[in-house]
Structure 1
Amino acid sequence: MRFVWPFALGLLVVVPLVAGGYWLWQRRKRKYAVQYSSLSLIREAMPPTSTWRRHLPLGLVLLSLASLAIGAARPHAVRDVGQNRTSIILALDVSRSMCAVDVEPNRLAVAQDAARAFIAEQAGGAQIGIVAFAGTARIIVPPTGDTQVLLDAVDNFRTAFGTALGSAQLKALDAIAAVNPDVAPSKESVPTQDQPPSANTLFAPDIIVLLTDGANSGGPDPVEAAQAAADRGVRVFTIGFGTDQPTEMICGGTQIGADAFGNGEFGSDGFGGDSFGGVTGSFGGGGGRGGSVDNAPPQLLVIDEPTLAAIAETTGGAYFRAADADQLVDVFLNLPTEIELQQEEVEISVWFTAAGFVLLLVAVVASQRFNRW
């Protein structure tokens, strides 16, 4: 506690002075009291008031004076205030394998549902950004608190070929760097962390959530990209999504984008070509009803769990495995959203002043009630 006017604490000397004066007054009363020949007459004359009741009003007055003196010194207290400064980047796989139907209706639709639930849960809290990746990666929505913008972006996901886990992490770092000056962009050199993160490591208040259902197929090395995140204190939480059973890949017309990035690769505009970005006939024909990817038979789609675990370990994050919709939603809703405690100084003199007047009022009422000081 800090006092703006500490000299006002000198007023506390009034408390012992009043207490001493009261004590002397009580002694003087006893000295000049009328002497009765019989104690029974004294007992009959005195009201049935206990000792503590007779002295209670004075005690309340002394507390009131002390409280008012402290309030006059303008005390300030320091309190911890929680502030959610987290930026969470959802880096979501939109490769063709997300059309797999081992979870109904398909992996992409289930991932979209889980992302929507997570975004709704964070409304009014952390800022969320979205990176979509297939053969390369792109920032779809920079970190924002606008829930509707995020939900609209998730609704418009389109699939493409390839899985670039390294590019996804680097793009996510750039999205964080745009809103957090303490995090350097991916192309800037920063000191390398030689030791793996520990419980004492100071992390940035930002995280990357990397969801994929497959293995890296190109672009920067995923573990090297994870090291870049670790060097910046950014943790990466990885999610391997899907079953280990052979499955067909079926996407609806609204889930199919171009083969390579360009207009409409992840959004709803400008697909080009006769049907879906130049992939006529591969996804249910030009009518846009969707179909199996390349009319392929059921395939075994393998998640590169060792790489995902290595990414998480390198950055101080964690790896999660989700085989169905419920597990994926649980993973999303249990991700950490950091609350940063900051100290704030507030003046609390009003509380001491108010308490002083309340105590004084109670003392007056008690004095009248017990009719004796």
Structure 2
Amino acid sequence: MSELSLTWPWALTGLLVVPLLVVGYRRGLRMQEARRAALAADGLVVPAPARSRWRHLGPALLIGALGVMVLALTRPMASVAEPHREGTVVLAFDVSNSMAATDVKPSRLEAAKAAARGFVAKQPASVRIAVVAFGGTGLVTQRPTDDRAAVLAAVARLRPAGDTSLTDGILGGLSAIVGKPVKPPSDTEQGAGTGAAEESPVGYHGGTAIVLLTDGEDTTDESPSGAAELASAAGVKIEPIGLGTTTGTTITVDGFTLATALDESALRAVAETTGGTYRRASDAASLAAVYDAIELQWTTRTVPHEVTSWVAALAAVLLLGGATVSVLRQGRVI
């Protein structure tokens, strides 16, 4: 439901002329009737017939048009509830050595970056975007912002190097959302028997999502399940995107040839824990489609709109209606 406010409320003083016009109109009618009665008494005109109440319609419309015109002078503002998408999306990029593999052209990381640029361009200003780079550790390279240029610059700086820790990727995403470092669940668990989500000062952050772009190859012994449960308790969905092929390929690191392949098992478990959806992207085109499938919550916000033109249009309609009725009934406007 919209609310009406006035930018220049002092202009309403112009409405003081309306009662004056009403009084003047009624006085004019009385004078006209008295004159006609006097002429009828002298036999110069026939006595006035019974008048219909509708004879006041034309003047009433004209006076109403004047009142609405005065209202238009106040520059009225209507607050309207509009639906929009809002929230925070963290683009968490796996920047380990395996992301240089070329089983997704031109490489896993470059394909992820290209699709991310398309995703950023499509988001409304109400969606804030953060960038996290994770390998052996998770690093927030861009805090949540609506500055698209800053986000794109952070994405462009990503380079593959080092190992992979899915846990640090998730914790890095949570750190970006919370605005401060989030410790691993094992560091917050105490002997009191409470869970990690209860001990961690993460809080609740509905309407947020972490897009985990990785080949799923975790080079640590730590399972990402604890970090996923922490995200779930905070209301954060994790949308893992698997980059690469299950058949895999090889990469060269420091003169050594290493095999690498997409590992989907941990990514599926992370998605299931947080209410997200695991998707595989075998090329840049399908990766772009994956981004399009990510949904944020729809909310409403109150936006003020000036409605002067609508009020003025109503005044014009009343003025035209009053003039038309008056001409049809008495052959003149006034």
Q: Same fold (TM over 0.5)?
A: yes
TM-superposed CA distance for 1:71, in Å, is 7.3
What is the CA deviation profile of residues 314-372 of structure 1, one whole-angstrom value per residue up to 9, with x for unaligned ones? 22322222222211111123322445422356786x56863564346425653458537
Which residue number corresponds to residue 205 of structure 1? Answer: 207
Report what 1:243 is aligned to.
245
Amino acid at match of 1:89: V
Partner of 1:333: 292
**Kept in 2: contact 1:100–1:248 (CA 8 A):** yes
AA at the equivalent of 1:91: A
Q: Counterpart in 2 of 1:137?
A: 138
Paired position in structure 2 for 1:321: 280
SS in 2 for 1:151: helix
Give the conservation status (yes or no) of the 8 Å contact 1:98–1:106: yes
Asked if the contact 2:197–2:230 (Cα under 8 Å) also holds between the matched residues in 1, the reply is no
Deviations 1:116-154 (A, max 9, x none): 222333375533221111222212222233434333333
Is 1:362 aligned to 2:320, yes or no?
Answer: yes
Output the CA distance in 2 between the equivalents of 1:120 and 1:346: 26
Which amino acid is the alignment partner of residue 246 of structure 2? D
Check whether the contact 1:312–1:318 (CA below 8 A) recurs between aligned residues: yes
Say whether residues 1:222 and 2:184 are aligned partners: no
Structure 2: tracts of 5 or more residues without a match: 47-51, 189-193, 199-203
Residue of structure 2 in register with 1:303 after alignment: 263
Contact kept? 1:89, 1:209, Cα under 8 Å? yes
Q: Tell me by how many angstroms 1:208 deviates.
A: 0.9
Distance in 2 between the 1:140 and 1:191 partners? 29
The 1-side partners of 2:142 and 2:286 are apart by 25
The 1:244/1:368 distance shift into structure 2, 3 A limit, reads: same
Where does residue 332 of structure 2 map in the other structure?
Answer: 371
Distance, in Å, in 2 between the alignment partners of 1:300 and 1:203 is 35
Alignment TM-score, normalising by the size of structure 2: 0.67
Tell me how far apart the structure 2 counterparts of residues 295 and 191 of structure 1 sit (CA, whole Å): 42
- In structure 1, the partner of 2:182 is 186
Match of 2:106, as an amino acid? P
What are the superposed Cα offsets for residues 300-323 of structure 1, whole Å, 9 maximum, x if unpaired? 614233x32332232232222222
Structure 2 CA distance, aligned partners of 1:114 and 1:330? 9
Look up the match of 1:107. Answer: 108
Sort the Cα spacing of 1:121 and 1:346 in 2 relative to 1 into closer, same or farther, 3 A. closer
Higher strand share goes to which structure?
2
User: Partners in 2 of 1:231 and 1:319 — Cα distance?
Assistant: 19
CA positional deviation for 1:210: 0.5
Distance 2:147 2:304 in 1: 31
Distance 2:146 2:70 in 1: 46
5 Å-filtered alignment, 1:13-52, equals none
- Structure 1 151/219 Cα, relative in aligned 2: closer, same or farther at 3 Å? farther
CA distance, structure 2, for counterparts of residue 356 and residue 134 of structure 1: 63
Bigger proportion of residues as helix: 2
Unaligned 5+ segments in structure 1 are: 36-50, 179-183, 195-201, 251-255, 257-278, 283-293
Q: Which residue of 1 aligns with 2:191?
A: none
Q: Which residue of 2 aligns with 1:39?
A: none
